[in-house]
């Protein structure tokens, strides 16, 4: 599973954590990543050097509210993005699920959206969007 791979543990060892995370994120890879990072940053998921593995408290994690944490994380992450990336993400949201690279190229030739092409790398690197083999960009949460 994604979680067992990330924690370098056998799936049977982290099965209950995987089930909790899946329940809270509905399996959305973007939310899984954000939720796991949130758990780690708040000490709810930590590496135990004596046991030489990741440890967690299932009861505490089970009680976590995913909606508030993920929305707060996304909001914080969005506020830290450059204007070019924020503009790119707003434009993409207007187009729906996918937008072709040619459309972004065309828009970037206009004065109003001249910086959106510059925001692509940051948005890709930040894990907000992905590019498919057909030249379309889409939000990670829509995959």
Strand, coil or helix: what is 74? helix
Asked if residue 14 has pLDDT above 90, the reply is yes
pLDDT number for residue 42? 86
The band of 73, judged by pLDDT with boundaries at 50, 70 and 90, is low
Contact 131, 137 (CB under 8 A): yes
**Residues in CB range of 13: below 8 A, 6 or more apart:** 4, 53
Strand, coil or helix: what is 1? coil
* Section 63-73 average pLDDT: 68
pLDDT number for residue 80? 78
The band of 81, judged by pLDDT with boundaries at 50, 70 and 90, is confident
pLDDT number for residue 52? 94
């Amino acid at each position: 599973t994604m979680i067992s791979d990330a924690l370098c543990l056998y799936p049977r060892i982290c099965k209950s954590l995987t089930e909790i995370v899946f329940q809270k994120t509905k399996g959305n890879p973007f939310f899984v990543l954000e939720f796991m990072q949130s758990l780690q940053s708040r000490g709810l998921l930590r590496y135990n050097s004596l046991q030489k593995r990741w440890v967690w408290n299932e009861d505490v994690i089970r009680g976590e509210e995913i909606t508030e944490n993920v929305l707060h994380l996304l909001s914080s992450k969005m506020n830290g993005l450059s204007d070019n990336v924020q503009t790119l993400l707003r434009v993409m949201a207007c187009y729906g699920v996918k937008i072709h690279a040619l459309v972004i190229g065309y828009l970037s030739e206009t004065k109003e959206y001249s910086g959106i092409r510059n925001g692509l790398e940051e948005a890709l690197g930040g894990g907000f969007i992905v590019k498919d083999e057909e030249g379309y960009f889409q939000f990670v949460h829509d995959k």
